[in-house]
Each structure stands twice: as structure tokens, then as C-alpha cells.
Amino acid sequence: MVGGLQRDITVVFLSESDDPYLFKICDELYPYVGDRVRFWKICSPFSFPKAGKEKFFVLNRIGRYGIRSLAHDWLLNLMSDSKRRFVYYACDVPVSDLALEFMERSTVILVNTDEMKSYLCSLNESFRDKIEVVPLHISFDFVNGVLPLKRIDDRFHILWFSLSGTGMSDVAKLLKDLDLLNLYVRVICICNRVGILRSKVEPVQNVDVMYFEALPYKDLIAFCKMCDVIIYPVFDDLDNVSFKVKPPTKFLNAVAVKKVLLVSPLKYYKEVADGRSVILVNDDSWIDVLLSVVKSNADYVYDEKAYLDARSKFDSVKLCSEYMKVYLGGEHAAS
């Protein structure tokens, strides 16, 4: 449970696992919500009924695996009570039938991008009136408080992460190409079920690749801070709906730790690309760009203006009130 004091309003976060998205919509916002509000996280469906008496609920992508249990049925039943407020957080596809059932019964659906809104409306037009779009945020205070990891040696460090594992085959292809060159670099790969990536990439001989299962958010930030550059290559799947609707998490992480982001021309990254801090890389120029970054990284120094710009738009302090309006509804949020 986040917060130990008695407070006026409790917002219950229900989730099937304690994942980074739950951290974003709960833990990362909590320092800014004020004294009257308490956040309560429940990360196992079978513990959901503990919160049966509460009024405000945020459902973190419940039912996305499509596996139904008695706890899901209990929650669906509770959602028919119109005196309670249920916010369904949907930030990514695929959406299962069970997830859609939860969305239908929720009071509000919270998404991070207009594209996600359009996508959900294409699945069910009746969602249109209850979808609220609030941009994804990042707590710059939290990021600033994390220390970078200690380096093993003076290699150039490249970081790739994708907590859901999207883009795994793309980075595998890039690593294979990179292995043909004899560069003094280390590539750190972080994602769920990272063993699958390893099985696609190994054996590499000329580049040191290290693999990590999806880490706690704080550790991920520590890796981001240690590395020289963050990459997100997508070659074959640019039209995949998932890339169109997802919020630009790589950008937020890169900007908050003041690192250069090299990224394929995905929709959201096109909007934030400035050619210095966020650099769009086409399919056939990844190796060239990486070579030039590794050999003369002075050309790719982070632009302070981009940092300040992002801080003014995406800092949790700034966006917290918008999230609270969605969580509590206009009346409570105002009070």
C-alpha cells in the first residue's frame, strides 16, 4: 500500500501484475497527489475483493491476457454499481474480449494517445464518449534521484529496452549486423522473456551483448543513465498498429536521463525528433549512424533545450492533476 496515513480519499489500483505501467500510473504520480489522497495497489486478482468497499478504482489493463477467473467475474459484477468510479487504463494493443468487457463497464477509459483512442473507437464506437486522453508522464525528480550503474570498462554502451518485447526481432537483426564489425561496444538488452532474444542473437563474437529480464523501473533508469545512447530499431513492422498507438516511452526515458535516442521513424518519435537528441534512423542507415555515434560521440551530445522542453510538457508534477481528474472525476479532483 502506498502511503500509511489515514486520508480522505482512497484510489485503488487493480492489476494482474506489478508492471512498469502500474508504476507509471500509481507510484510515479503518488508524490504529487497531495495529503488527502491515498493510493492502494493490489497486484493479484485473488486479492481484488479486499477493496470491495472502496469507491475509486483504476484498472491497469485488466483482462488483457484473456484469462478469466472468479476474481474477474467478481470485479465485473462490482462494476455494475454506478456509485463507484472505475477507470480502465489502456495503453497498448492487443485488446482481448475480456479487456473489452471491462472497458464497456468502466466509467472512463484512460489512454495516452489519440491513436489509441481512435483504435478503441474502431473496436467499439460507444467508447468514444468515455475515453480520456492524457499524455504519458515521467517523474524527473524520481529519475534525478537514481544513480547510474558502475561501468565495467570503457566500452561504448548502447541500450535497447522494450518491456513488452515488441521490436525483438528487429534488434536481433541489428545485433547480427553489428557483430560483423569489430567495434569496442557493449549492447545491453532489456525486455520480458529476454532469453528468446538471446536465442535469436547468439553466438555473437565481436560485440559484447548483455541480456536482462525486464527490470524494476528504478534499475532500468540506472541502466539508462549508464549507457551512452539508447536505440529503438523497427525495420519490418512500422505499420504494426501497436507502434502507432503506443506512447513514446523510449523518448521520455531518454530525455529524462539526457541521452541521445536513435529511433526508427515511428509516428510519435517523428513528432519529437530534433536531429540532435532524438535522431530518426532509416532502415538501411542504422549501421552507419551507429558507427558514427560510436566513433565520434561528441557529435551526438544531448541538447539541453530538448530536456527543458520535455520537462515542461511531460513532468509528472505538471500532468498529475490531469490524471487525478480522470481518477476521481471533476468534482473530487477540484476539491
Partner 1 sequence: MHIHYVTSASDLSFLYHCYIPSKYLPRFDGVKVTISSYPGFVEEENARKSDVVVLQCQTKNSVFQFMKKASDKVFIYDIDASLWGLYSGRFNGRFWEKGHLRVIKKFMDFCHGVTVHSSSFYGLLVERFPELKEKIYLLPPLVDFEKSQVRKRCSSSIRIGWQGLPFDFKMSEHVAHAVAQVIRGGYDVKAVWFGFLPSALKGLKWWEWEYYAWPGVENFYDVLGSLGLDIGLLPVDPEMHDGELVFRRLLDYAMFKVAVVATNVESLSGAVGCFYGVDLSNKLNKWRRSIMDLLENEGMRSELSERLYEFALQFDASKRVGEWLEVYKEISR
Q: Which is nearer to partner 1, 118 or 192 (CB)?
A: 192
193 binds partner 1 (CB under 8 A): yes
Among 9, 143, 194, 257, binds partner 1 (CB under 8 A): 194
Task: Name which position in 96, 118, 169, 192 contacts partner 1 (CB under 8 A).
Answer: 192
End-to-end CA distance of the chain: 23
- Cell numbers describing residue 138: 515521467
Starting at the edge strand that comes first in sequence, how are the strands of the sheet with 131-133 ordered? 37-42, 9-15, 56-60, 85-89, 108-111, 131-133
What x/- string results for residues 117 through 156 when contact with partner 1 is judged by CB under 8 A?
--------------------------------x--x----
- The footprint of partner 1 on residues 207-246 (CB under 8 A) is 210-213
Phi-psi region of 258 (alpha: psi -120 to 50; beta: other; left: phi over 0): left
179: cell is: 557483430
Burial of residue 296 (CB within 10 Å: 0-12, 13-18, 19+) is exposed
Binding-site residue total for partner 1 (CB under 8 A)? Answer: 20
Stretch that binds partner 1, among 105-113, 204-212, 276-284, 326-334 (CB under 8 A): 204-212
**Beta carbon of residue 217, minimum distance to partner 1 (angstroms, whole number):** 16
Least distance (Å) from partner 1 to the CB of residue 211? 6
Q: What are the residues whose beta carbons fall under 8 Å from the beta carbon of 12, sequence distance 6 or more?
A: 40, 42, 51, 54, 56, 57, 58
Q: Of the ranges 19-27, 107-115, 126-134, 187-195, which one interacts with partner 1 (CB under 8 A)? A: 187-195
- Please tell me whether residue 76 binds partner 1 under the rule CB under 8 A: no
> Closest approach of Cβ 189 to partner 1, in Å?
11
Local structure of residue 310 (DSSP, 8 states): H
Partners of 58 in beta bridges: 13, 87
Helix (H, G, I), strand (E, B) or coil at 72: helix
To partner 1, the closest distance from the beta carbon of 335 in angstroms equals 44
Q: Segment contacting partner 1 (CB under 8 A): 17-25, 195-203, 253-261, 274-282? A: 195-203
> Could you tell me which stretch among 114-122, 201-209, 229-237, 313-321 binds partner 1 (CB under 8 A)?
201-209
**Distance (Å, rounded) from C-alpha 101 to C-alpha 134?**
22
- In this complex, which beta carbon is closest to partner 1, that of residue 82 or of residue 199? 199
The secondary structure of 140-195, three-state, reads HHHHHCCCCCCCCCCCEEEEEEECCCCCHHHHHHHHHHHHCCCCCEEEEEEECCHH
**182 binds partner 1, rule: CB under 8 A:** no
Interface positions with partner 1 (CB under 8 A)? 67-68, 149, 152, 192-196, 198-199, 201-205, 210-213
